[in-house]
Chain A
């Protein structure tokens, strides 16, 4: 019979604000997993910790900034990307990561998202997509599948959702990936890779929100959603981007992987000498 071992330290103690634990995330929530992947990537990046900055908007995922023991900025709803843009341009030595949710980034912050992609500003965006507004109790948003039930869509969501990789590709992003909170190794590697390639990067991470989304849509348990990811996720090779839309309730493949990785000049302010 195995026995629990109590340890004094955790491998991420140097990078998480232990004095802020426990975190606010619900049982079965994926955000902690994604945060851990980011933290691990930061540690392995070889970039001094003091150069890393994390910026977030509002929502459950937005709280990640408060748990990272880095320079961290928890801004207003939707405005993490422009805040990060100003920060990066004012001090190009910083490695600025925006860590926020699907509602924050693609609804209220949607305009900044597409323009940052178009501009190819050198910030890395980790978008936790849990298909709803979790913090406020499960309202529908621009990633909620058509027909899915949410507190503001009690009869089913009447709107088509965004296919985020397709949107970002159309906006001109040079780097677009999608993973799930099950793909911890791939996700960490992908974040690490985004650190070394200049320019805008968008990494979508499909995540379980059993309380906000799962329970009203027949995936009431976080583990169940992880099972579902394991069964259905397919590494996308040559799949047209328009086919990347997701509906967890339908039995069809969920495509993951890195979809776009193209060399584009990262945005730099204009300079003129003399």
Chain B
């Protein structure tokens, strides 16, 4: 099964019964799979007129109680960003899949990229936090799509799956567990019936976790949801204090649960002195490079970012204390490296390629060898920004 199909199957296994989307390479196979499968399952597949409509329909479906998703690629994600912000503000769970291609603009529609990392994090206007995962195999596309739905419902927020063309179109074995083994976290629902008088407070956070239970349309709660700054009733409230409190909570409900959200994998890290940081398809090349470097006796490990956002600051910071060098490998010009360097407070080696083809393990190996040689050399911890640091894929 290829990654795009695995995505649709993962969503279906997670109970997603609403897909609204607009075809775009290299994510189209996800929509096609939904078009095939939803009618058999009594779910909804609708091909919308554009990505603006797709994300709006997904939010509407979510507000009506459905597990809902859309799938797109960079240009489509750009169009969805305003309503991604609406999803954040209305706290409507949904899953947005971005199968990244070479960008910016139309870029390389049929070829891979990993350059939507920062767009995923900061794309919509305003301060907000987002959850994003980056699978490295069709199997993980399946598993993480399930996780995305669970995280979306758990934290009442849109969640992004940042795949890439390599993973989306690669065919590999995918094991689909029986339904009862698929984890399913329920959306938190008001435990009380609608009030006879007055308003149900759809945005009153549970003090435990800052997440308000979500009443759906048609249940009698007479909710009001608005993208305007609102009070706990959902009513518009144009005050700076309300605004600050709301935006702070929207961020805190994600950031304060970062440890539960973050997923990382470590390879060969036990005695490592150097670490490669990578994600998505590039992490496959990174693992091979690390293996080959180990065979040459270089004490290098791999930290694979299964989740990209929230960024695993604590882990990277801690590694920064004890690793001699960091090598970040990614199919963009340094988006994750920027985060790594922010956390470790010094330059990292970068293996970057703007996209179009996967970074070959050789390129990463070269960087590992160069970094290893530099360890202990004068100035190794502050490699110059001009030379040596960046190795173009």
Q: Indicate yes or no for A touching B, C-beta below 8 A.
A: yes
Binding site for B on A (CB under 8 A): 17, 19-20, 49-51, 53, 55, 65-66, 69-76, 78-79, 81-91, 93-94, 111-112, 115, 269-272
CB distance from A9 to the nearest CB of B (A): 13
Q: Are B217 and A94 in contact (CB under 8 A)?
A: yes
Expressed in whole angstroms, the minimum distance between the Cβ of B3 and any Cβ of chain A is 25
Specify which of B39, B59, B235 lies most central, judged by the most chain A CB atoms within 10 Å of its CB: B59
Task: Please give, as numbers and ranges, the residues of chain B lying within 8 Å of A50 by CB-CB distance.
Answer: 218-220, 222
State whether the Cβ of B224 lies closer than 8 Å to any Cβ in chain A: yes
What CA separation (Å) do A271 and B46 show in the bound complex?
12
Q: B222 to A71, Cβ gap below 8 A? A: yes
Give the distance to chain A from B214, nearest Cβ to Cβ, in Å.
12
Assess the B53–A115 pair: CB atoms within 8 A. yes
Are A73 and B56 within 8 A (Cβ)?
no
5 pairs, A vs B, C-beta closer than 8 Å: A73-B63, A78-B52, A83-B59, A86-B56, A91-B65
Residue contact B49 to A111, C-beta cutoff 8 Å? yes
Closest chain A residue to B18, Cβ basis: A90
User: Which residues of A sit under 8 angstroms from B65, Cβ to Cβ?
Assistant: 90-91
- Give the chain B neighbours of A70 by CB distance below 8 A: 222
Known contacts A73-B224, A91-B216, then 9 further A-B pairs from the complex at CB < 8 Å, ordered by chain A residue: A49-B222, A50-B218, A74-B225, A82-B60, A84-B60, A85-B56, A90-B68, A91-B66, A94-B64
Q: Are B225 and A72 in contact (CB under 8 A)?
A: yes
In the complex, what distance in Å separates the CA atom of A272 from the CA atom of B40?
A: 5
The residue that A86 contacts in the complex, of B18, B49, B218, with Cβ under 8 A, is B18
- CB pair B224–A17 under 8 Å, yes or no, is yes
Contacts of B39 in A (CB 8 A): 269-272
Residue among A51, A71, A269 having the largest count of chain B Cβ atoms under 10 Å: A71
Looking at the assembled complex, report how far the CB atom of A167 sits from the nearest CB atom of chain B, in whole angstroms: 15
B42 at the interface (CB under 8 A from A): yes
> Once the chains bind, are B228 and A90 in contact (CB under 8 Å)?
no
Is the beta-carbon distance between B56 and A76 smaller than 8 angstroms? yes
A87 and B63 CA atoms in complex are apart in Å by: 7
Given A76-B56, A76-B227, A270-B38, check contact A87 B46 (CB 8 Å): no
Contacts of A65 in B (CB 8 A): 224, 226
User: Is there a chain A Cβ closer than 8 Å to B199's Cβ?
Assistant: yes
Q: Which residue of A lies closest to B54 (CB)?
A: A82
Check B269 for interface membership: any CB of A closer than 8 A.
Answer: no
Distance A20 CA – B216 CA, assembled complex (angstroms):
21
- Given A91-B65, A271-B39, check contact A79 B83 (CB 8 Å): yes
Residues of chain B contacted by A71 (CB below 8 angstroms): 217-219, 221-223
The 10 closest A-B pairs by CB, nearest first: A86-B60, A86-B57, A82-B56, A87-B60, A90-B61, A82-B53, A74-B226, A86-B61, A83-B60, A90-B64
Contact between A74 and B57, CB atoms less than 8 A apart: no
Q: How far is the CB of B50 from chain A (nearest CB, A)?
A: 6
**Chain A residues with CB under 8 A of B46:** 85-86, 89, 269
**In the complex, what's the smallest C-beta–C-beta distance from A101 to chain B, in angstroms?**
16
Find out whether the CB atom of B235 lies under 8 angstroms from the CB atom of A20.
yes
A93 to chain B: closest CB distance in Å? 6
Closest A residue to B38 by beta carbon equals A269
